[in-house]
Structures are given as structure tokens and as C-alpha cells.
A and B are shown apart, each in its own frame.
Chain A
């Protein structure tokens, strides 16, 4: 059963702590992405990776970090430097990172709440 998994579904963190969100895909996709979604708004790109061991900043990368050591995994760390981390975080993947015409498949999301 192929797809994208994100864990955990709900995550609570104390202010000042770093936290890592997991994203795994078994679709054999080259590219992976992290988005942030706030209530009533669209998705904003945090980081993306077109290939293993390479990644680029998106539109709102400050306060976040990522790694891409394996093709199937793209974890996102929300650091204490992120001023307003409470949000719904979505991971996505696409077959090719450099082709213009391929859709992104999304995981179920992780809702992060900072207490």
C-alpha cells in the first residue's frame, strides 16, 4: 500500500523546545516538500528537496531545518527560533523534482501545538 506517512498526527511542545516531524514515502519519488498551513489559509512552502542529500529553502524557511539522507525520508525540525510554530504541517512528494508537470502527493499532516 503505497503512500506518504507523517507522524505523529498531533504533537505538543513546550515553548523553547525543538521538535522533529517525520515524513516517509514509499512511492519511489525523487522530490519531497514541507508546507505549513495556518487556519483559513493556503499552503506555504518551507523546504523542498529534489534529490537525496540536497535541499533548498522555500518561502518561509526561517526557524526550520531539514535533512534528506534517504530517498524515502525527509524529516522537518521546528526549532526554538521559529516565532509562531503552532500550525498544521504537510509533507508532499512528486516523482521528479525538476519536471514541470507532475503533481504533488500529500501526507495526512501533523498538527503541532506549542504550549
Chain B
């Protein structure tokens, strides 16, 4: 669900360490998930996506894990760099069969990742 207030959850990591950002999604009918990265004052950028028929997907330095049993999604960033500092959002898509059409995404409130030198 949504959190209220101005303070995002924050994850602080040392440069070079691995980061794990977690997300709990709300709807068991969601069948597609995306992780976005948003730098301050900019629009979100796509990082990686995963369909509900998969439990793991890897990209360059990033891995997304999906656990449908507990409705949990995680983003792992290997060898975290200062340029990775940003807010990370997960987004879920509910099947258009249930929504009557429309590629509609529901976004989480985000996690602030801070990389310490």
C-alpha cells in the first residue's frame, strides 16, 4: 500500500557493495512488473522488467527476483556505483483482461538509494 508522508525509505550502501531494494506489491492478479530509477528532478528511467511466469531476470549489473507466493519483488544491483544514487520504484501491471484494457501501471512509493564513497 501507499505510505503517507515525505520521507522515503532509504538504503545506504558503500561504493562497490551490492544493493538489494525490496518492494511488496498489492494485487495477486498483477502479471508484469517493472523497476524504474528516478534521479532528482528527472523522469523515471526503465531499468528492468519481469513477467509473472518468471522468478528471476538478469540485466547488466541488475537482477530482479519475483516471489509471487508472498507478492514480493526485489532489485539487486551489483557493485553499486555513485551514479546509482537515485529513487527506485517498482511498478505492477494488472492484466488488461481484468481492467478492461489499458497498459496501466501502479507505482510503489519508492526507495532512496544513497551510495557512500
Chain A residues near B (Cβ < 8 Å): 4, 6, 31, 35, 39-45, 48, 50, 56, 58, 90, 92, 94, 96-109, 111
Bound complex: CA A58 to CA B9 (Å):
26
Q: B interface vs A, CB < 8 Å?
A: 2-3, 5-8, 31-32, 34, 36, 41-46, 49, 51, 89, 93, 95-96, 101-105, 107-110
B103 touches A96 (CB 8 A): yes
Some 29 contacts from A to B, beta carbons below 8 A apart, are A6-B43, A40-B5, A40-B6, A40-B7, A40-B8, A42-B89, A42-B107, A42-B108, A42-B110, A43-B44, A43-B107, A45-B105, A58-B104, A90-B44, A92-B43, A97-B101, A98-B101, A100-B93, A100-B95, A100-B103, A101-B32, A103-B34, A103-B49, A105-B46, A106-B44, A108-B43, A109-B41, A109-B42, A109-B43
Q: How far is the CA of A42 from the CA of B7 in the complex (A)?
A: 12
Alpha-carbon separation in the docked complex, A56 to B43 (Å): 22
> Quick one: which of A40, A45, A56, A105 has the most chain B CB within 10 A?
A40
A-B contact count (CB 8 A): 79
Nearest CB in chain B: distance from A47 CB, A:
11
- Rounded to whole angstroms, the CA-CA distance of A28 and B3 in the bound complex is 36
Least distance between B111 CB and chain A CB atoms (Å): 11
Residues of A within 8 A of B89 (CB): 42-43
Contact A31 B103 (CB under 8 A): yes
CB distance from B14 to the nearest CB of A (A): 25
- A94 nearest in chain B by CB position: B103
Q: Within the complex, what minimum Cβ distance (angstroms) separates A53 from chain B?
A: 15
Which A residues are CB-close (under 8 A) to B36? 106
B102–A40 touching, CB < 8 Å: no
Q: Are A42 and B2 in contact (CB under 8 A)?
A: yes
Q: B46's contact among A44, A96, A103, by CB below 8 Å, is which?
A: A103
A5 to B14, CA, bound (A): 35
Q: Is the CB of B102 within 8 A of A98?
A: yes
CB neighbours (8 Å) of A31 from chain B are: 102-103
- B49 / chain A contacts, CB cutoff of 8 Å: 101, 103
A74 to chain B, nearest CB (A): 14
In the complex the two chains form, what is the Cα distance from A106 to B96 in whole Å? 21
